[in-house]
Amino acid sequence: MSYQVLARRWRPQNFAEMVGQQHVRKALINALDGDRLHHAYLFTGTRGVGKTTIARILAKCLNCETGVTSEPCGSCSSCVEIAEGRFVDLIEVDAASRTKVEDTRELLDNVQYAPTRGRFKVYLIDEVHMLSGHSFNALLKTLEEPPPHVKFLFATTDPQKLPVTILSRCLQFNLKRMPVDMISRHLVYLLSKEEIKSDDASLRLIARGADGSMRDALSLLDQAISFGNGELKEADVREMLGTISHEPLLDLLSSVAAGDGEAILDGIEQMAGVTPDFEAATDALITLLHKMAVLQVVPQAEEDDEAIKQLAQQFSREDVQLYYQIALHGRRDLPLSPDPRSGFEMIFLRLLTFRPLADIAPPSSPTPNIATQTASTPSTSQQTKKKTLATKASTQEAPIKIPSVLHDTPAPPIIDDAPPWGESITPASETPSAVVEKKVTTQAKTPVEKEKVAPIVEQHVAKTPEVTSGDDPMWHEIVPQLGLSGRSAEIVKHCILSSTADNKIVLSMDSSGENLLAKSAEQEIETALQTYYNKSIHLQIKIQRLTKETPAERIERQHQERQKMAEELMQNDSFVQDLQNRFNATLVPNSVKPK
């Protein structure tokens, strides 16, 4: 006797033997038991999920000699003939090969005649979406009001192509793709019946390669048994599935997370050894990144592969979103590359090279050595001027740019807790150095202002900062000197210094920034503080309501103040006023940008 493949040998013969599709089984069993049968059923879903199998079981239930039942006997002549595909009253039609309207009319000519052997004449039309428009029109009237002895069972993988007039005349059941765990458990059961040795890892690889299709899983199982000479081993299955499994993609993304370019090229070289379809591999990469993005936003989302869950934790959300866009553009450009492999390599090299903007340290101008200059210059006003210039350089992302009519008017420096622009406008004829000297000297005249300026100078005169108890009002001065970038820099910018006692520093952050926190980032901040203070520091970050201004809020406030000052300067400029009076012009405030 010739060998029968596993997919046919283990095809379910009743609802109890079916794997998955519980929602469809429940509806059909209740309809059969309650005698509430419809005249037309439509089963949809991807390949290998049981559409034709359910239709044949339903045909058994309708024509079993024991009566209409949800549990056919399987031993009567009707059940046996349906199982063997030779039951005269089960008419199976492949719509892909009979698309013409003449074929449909010939089929419908026999509908009026009573069944020959069974209780019902069942028309099972597979891939029904392949019928032509005229064929659907010819089918409409009969499908809506068929004779009582006729049942229509339709199966399709593409229900979107069916006319609405057909859909409205059928009960539609959408069969789901099967999860990896369900397929693995069923394969274990089949191999125990077949008495074939296997391991869990090899079966999980097959289940994952099946991509939700039980028939594909059984076909791959047949191939793996032949490949392993009657035994399944993980190494053999992994080698056999070299062009199907997405394990290599997981390894490549892990190498991207580790920043290992050599491992990426070696992994692609191994993929090329089994001559894969790199376009399909790119599609699989896009799907994988989509799954990672979903898991990052909704950690409890259904995902059977633990490796994908672990990989999603190695990247930030920004990284995954950027990588998804890079993969999409790389897929579009793949046909333009000299060969698919080089295009696939370039996609991963881009993943390795590019990072979201927040992870890139912004260029900063060198900060002058305030301590050295203070030691050589005894003037308090000079010390204050140098400190304020350093503060301005570290807190501003870019120098202020005023329209050309005001290029000679410099922006005065900002002293902590002092009015940012003073009470008067500096004449345009003064030089920048004169403006700074005059402004700082004016502000430092009163004892109160001297007390505010003094800590700025004393902090930079000391060679090694000390961790002191109590609140530190100069946290915004410490932040730019920590040398942090990316997520760590964003965290410290959105924190305030709550307390410093002994070697412990406590930072407070508002709950809105909690999603920025990560163990690696906290460790990086702690290391930067230890370097800054030149001693061992223990860092603690608390989530609570903030009562003080964070460095990020301070920078935003200063930007708004500079914007307001620039607009006022423009409004008060005589040349601008002359233009307004002469040409009835209007100044657009948002067009003035102090960048």
- At 83, is the secondary structure helix, strand, or coil? helix
Using the predicted structure, report yes or no on whether residue 439 has a pLDDT greater than 60.
no
Asked whether 187 and 84 are in contact (CB, 8 A), the reply is no
- DSSP H or E run through 347: helix 340-353
Distance, in Å, from the CA atom of 456 to the CA atom of 382, rounded to the nearest integer, reads: 12
Asked whether 467 and 502 are in contact (CB, 8 A), the reply is yes
Q: Please name which of 531, 503, 481, 535 lies closest in space to residue 371, comparing C-alpha atoms.
A: 481
Q: Please name which of 274, 273, 280, 285 lies closest in space to residue 348, comparing C-alpha atoms.
A: 285
pLDDT digits (tens, 9 = 90+) for 164-189: 999 999 999 999 999 888 999 999 99
| Sequence-separated contacts (24+) of 356-360 with Cβ below 8 Å | 356/316, 356/318, 356/319, 356/321, 356/322, 358/318, 358/486, 358/487, 358/490, 359/316, 359/318, 359/319, 359/485, 359/486, 359/487, 360/485, 360/486
Please check whether the two domains, 247-359 and 464-548, share a CATH topology: no
The hierarchical CATH code for the domain 6-174 is 3.40.50.300
Q: Please name which of 382, 384, 383, 438 lies closest in space to residue 410, comparing C-alpha atoms.
A: 438
Q: How many CB atoms lie within 10 A of CB 277?
A: 11
| Average pLDDT of the chain, as a whole number | 79
Distance, in Å, from the CA atom of 362 to the CA atom of 554, rounded to the nearest integer, reads: 18
Estimate to the nearest angstrom the gap between the alpha carbon of 111 and the chain centroid.
Answer: 52
Q: Please name which of 321, 323, 402, 393 lies closest in space to residue 364, comparing C-alpha atoms.
A: 393
Q: What is the mean pLDDT of residues 324-328?
A: 94
CATH class label, 464-548: alpha beta
Spatial strand order of the sheet with 495-501 comes to 495-501, 504-509, 538-543
Using the predicted structure, report yes or no on whether residue 384 has a pLDDT greater than 70.
no
pLDDT digits (tens, 9 = 90+) for 214-261: 999 999 999 999 988 888 888 888 778 765 557 788 889 999 988 889
Judge if pTM exceeds 0.85.
Answer: no
Give the architecture (CATH level 2) of 247-359: Up-down Bundle (1.20)
Tokens 């990284």 -> residue: 319
Residue 241 has a pLDDT of 79
Fold classified for 180-240? Helicase, Ruva Protein; domain 3 (1.10.8)
Q: List residues bridging with 500 in a β-sheet.
A: 505
Tokens 């049981």 -> residue: 50
Distance, in Å, from the CA atom of 40 to the CA atom of 144, rounded to the nearest integer, reads: 9
Residue 174 has a pLDDT of 93
Q: Where are the domains of the chain?
A: 6-174, 180-240, 247-359, 362-450+551-595, 464-548
Q: What is the mean pLDDT of residues 285-304?
A: 84
